[in-house]
Chains A and B, each alone.
Chain A
Amino acid sequence: MKIILFTIIFTTFFIQALFSASEGLKPMKYNFSFDGILGSIDKNSAQRGLQVFTEVCAACHGLNHLAYRSLEDIGYNKGEINNIAKQFLIDDIPDENGEIKKRNAIYSDKFVNPYPNEEAAKVSNNGAYPPDLTLMVKARKDGANYLRSLLLGYEDAPEGVDVGEGYYNKYMPGKIIAMPQPLYGDDVEYQDGTVATLEQEVIDVVTFLTWTAMPELEKRKSSGIKVIIFLLIMTFFFFLSYKKIWKDVK
């Protein structure tokens, strides 16, 4: 145990060179609806993103920290949310015989995970664990741009690169990713009639995942503007009082 720990620490302290050399490419910039101090989540895009997530991503990835009820934030009403939730089965509390039966998820439940546990997820995915996506945008540097670049960045491996059981993606740190390309365009048929190009699907799902990571984003930015304006005025008055009170000090 001791030796293992020391090796790990030694590695990270002195041989970080190896890791940093294999960092992924800097993500491409894109002007998302939620960028900037006045940016907000494009609700239509987020709803389409939910559709992409449910029909494609959710086969392997979970949204552990998100409750169905939160979908109200991106413009669904309670009835619609119950319809979304009831497609998924969840363990009920033990009944009078002590048996745990499955029931349909409802409004107040959290998003149902595709796998019952991490081991089950690994065994179905070549030993790689599909990470939870709730916080993915915050868990990567420049997360929204990174996700968009990654989802658009699948290529054939260049000559001489052995990807093993993985796939080549220059935006992934190490350039090899365990996940096969998930989106190609026309993977879903959008309910609102938008043409489901690859680029469109990616932007929609990134918008949705930005909202799952930062559900407070819109409220934060709009209250931020008010708070800053208030503080600027208050500070200005403090400054005037300061000048007035100090006028005679020489």
Chain B
Amino acid sequence: MKKNNINSSNSVLEWIDYRLPIISLLKHSAVDYPTPKNLNYWWNFGSLAGFFLLVQIITGIMLSMHYTAHVDHAFSSIEHIMRNVNHGWLIRYVHMNGASFFFIVVYIHIFRGLYYGSYKAPRELLWWLGIIILLLMMATAFMGYVLPWGQMSFWGATVITNLFSAIPIIGEGVVQWLWGGYSVDNPTLSRFYTLHFLLPFLIVGVVVLHIVALHTHGSNNPLGIDRKGPQDSIPFHPYYTVKDFFGLGVALTIFFSVVFFAPDYLGHPDNYVPADPLKTPAHIVPEWYFLPFYAILRAIPDKLGGVIAMFSAIFVLFLLPWLDTSKVRSATFRPVYKLLFWVFLVDAVILGWIGSKPAEGTYILVGRIATSYYFIHFLIILPLLGFFEKTKPLPSSISKPVLAE
């Protein structure tokens, strides 16, 4: 007797599934889910991002059991975790570096989408949900960095919250509302802690929507063409589960090399100095994953303008599905776009480098040029390129990548 499509002799599971179809749901979306058979390694980064989200939530919950969100105790409670909690140093180093690796895999995931045109119809909302996840991640990471209450925590929080004071008329009121007082202080710390705990679960919610949207039209693929029939697909399990596990193994090896042998490499030494509201550090720099946006913020010589440019740098991504006018998805068949993709990537890296440098001399000039190019790429080049670029002929199907002449 076989009900539904459960390939199982377990009658308990069948009993459950008949009433609550969670097993067939999982089977549908994680086992049988038809996936293009030509996905390359760049498609590993979606599941890796999910993995690191899980790592952050699990280690974060463990840390929250020992952390104290109070300006007088936060710094020492972190040291308590590092010294007295069993394996506390490991949990905290995994959480600290896990944030960085979450951003690394998500940035690669985003650039994969940019290269292969994964944001184009019918995947616009899938792309939007991804950007919302990125925004939530940024908010979560920023507030998480404040929690140890070191010098960079405090001054980073001061600089970033002060950005809102650039809003005309209500700016100052908004900033005081964010602080819960007249400066970054205990109310700020405790609300950041609450939100830092809450937002990851919102991210999980948006991730579920992201996956629902993904599974509606299926994954894009390196050729960027739609699947023509079942011969173009393979079931997710075991093909992509095993490939994802292999990718995970490689990622974990790199990740734990950092965690065990250079755990503070990605952090800033100043954050091992307790916060002192009377002493400004020589350089206030955000975590590395914010540096490109920090460079854009500082490229504009006006506070409000800088804030607008920084937020626009992300919001322009929402418009991308319509700014890119080309009908061809994959850069493989777009020779000019392919080149410009790499130029854009280099531009983003330059912005990151400028973000880590003091705003002086040549750095200012380079930062301004790189910022201009960032927006020119999206707002001018991509809309025009669709009309002028001579694309290569597309293959007729995934199974026949050679041209059907």
Contacts and interface: CB of A to CB of B under 8 A. Distances in A.
A124 interface: no
Contacts of B90: 216, 220, 223
Contact of B83 (A1, A9, A70, A235): A70
A12 B280 contact: yes
B60 to A, nearest CB: 20
Given A241-B242, A249-B239, A16 B283 contact: yes
Interface stretch (B95-103, B219-227, B358-366): B358-366
A235 B249 contact: yes
B76 interface: yes
A238 B260 contact: no
Contact of B283 (A14, A19, A65): A19
B269 A231 contact: no
Contacts of B159: 9, 12
Interface residues of A, number: 51
Given A14-B359, A216-B82, A216-B89, A138 B264 contact: yes
B212 interface: no
Given A17-B360, A235-B250, A245-B242, A12 B284 contact: yes
Contacts of A245: 238-239, 242
B253 interface: yes
Contacts of B270: 139
Nearest to A244: B242
A5 B252 CA distance: 42
Given A16-B359, A65-B79, A227-B260, A2 B172 contact: yes
Nearest to B297: A13
B169 to A, nearest CB: 14
Most buried by A among B90, B234, B250, B272: B272
B282 A16 contact: yes
Interface string A218-250: 001101110110011011001101100110010
Interface string B229-271: 0000010001100110110111011001101110110000110
Contacts of B273: 131, 135, 139
Contacts of A70: 83
B1 to A, nearest CB: 30
B331 to A, nearest CB: 24
Interface in B20-65: 37
Interface of A: 1-2, 5-6, 8-9, 11-14, 16-17, 19-20, 23, 37, 64-67, 70, 131, 134-135, 138-141, 143, 173, 213, 215-216, 220-221, 223-225, 227-228, 231-232, 234-235, 238-239, 241-242, 245-246, 249
16 contacts: A5-B158, A6-B165, A12-B280, A16-B282, A19-B282, A20-B358, A65-B79, A135-B273, A139-B273, A140-B269, A216-B83, A221-B261, A224-B256, A231-B253, A238-B248, A241-B245
* In the complex, the 9 A-B pairs of residues with the closest C-beta atoms, listed nearest first: A224-B260, A235-B249, A16-B358, A17-B360, A139-B272, A19-B282, A238-B246, A216-B89, A65-B79
